[in-house]
Amino acid sequence: MFTIDEYHKTIGDKIANLDVAILVLNAGIGLNGAFYEFNDSHIQALMQINANQVCYLSKVVLPQLVKRFEEKKVKSAVLMTSSIAAEIPLSGMTIYSATKVFVNFLADGLFIEHRNKIDIMSYTAGFVITKLTADWKREVDYETITAKRAAEICFRDLG
């Protein structure tokens, strides 16, 4: 999916009648290397998955969450996963880090827009054991947690 309209048709229309309480936007791919050396398709895919899909799906689902609050006076939540890479410029991860800065800023702005109606947060994790980190992070240590632990932290901090 590459347009907001495609997100509406593919996802929005299918969930329009559901009572959505939590939207979790947790997708990401990484590229490691010099920015100028990446081929265009890799950068486009990274931007689409790490930034655009977060923005587009938020755009499609937020009206439904606002309506839920207005009709039922029940808050919903949006959880966007980010990365510590958004806080620390890392050589070889410039484009990945930039997309995570975008996610953080989007979450912060939407939180302000929808304060008292929808809980919106960006979870800025350090290292989480996932497919993305499998080549170099496989065990829990002082800087690494499991995906299960990351989920527990997110739900603890909502609300």
Count of domains in the chain?
1
SS (H, E, C) the chain: CCCHHHHHHHHHHHHCCCCCCEEEECCCCCCCCCHHHCCHHHHHHHHHHHHHHHHHHHHHHHHHHHHHHHHHCCCEEEEEECCHHHCCCCCCCHHHHHHHHHHHHHHHHHHHHCCCCEEEEEECCCEEECCCCCCCCCCCECCEEEHHHHHHHHHHHCC
Asked whether residue 138 is domain-assigned, the answer is no
* Domain of 24, in residue numbers: 4-125
Residues annotated as catalytic are 96
Asked whether residue 112 is domain-assigned, the answer is yes
What CATH number does residue 19 fall under?
3.40.50.720
Asked whether residue 50 is domain-assigned, the answer is yes
Asked whether residue 145 is domain-assigned, the answer is no
Asked whether residue 48 is domain-assigned, the answer is yes
pLDDT per residue rounded down to tens, the chain (159 residues)? 999 999 999 999 999 999 999 999 987 888 889 999 999 999 999 999 999 999 999 999 999 999 999 999 999 999 999 998 999 888 999 999 999 999 999 999 999 999 999 999 999 888 787 776 666 666 888 778 888 898 898 888 887
The pLDDT, as a whole number, for residue 43 is 95
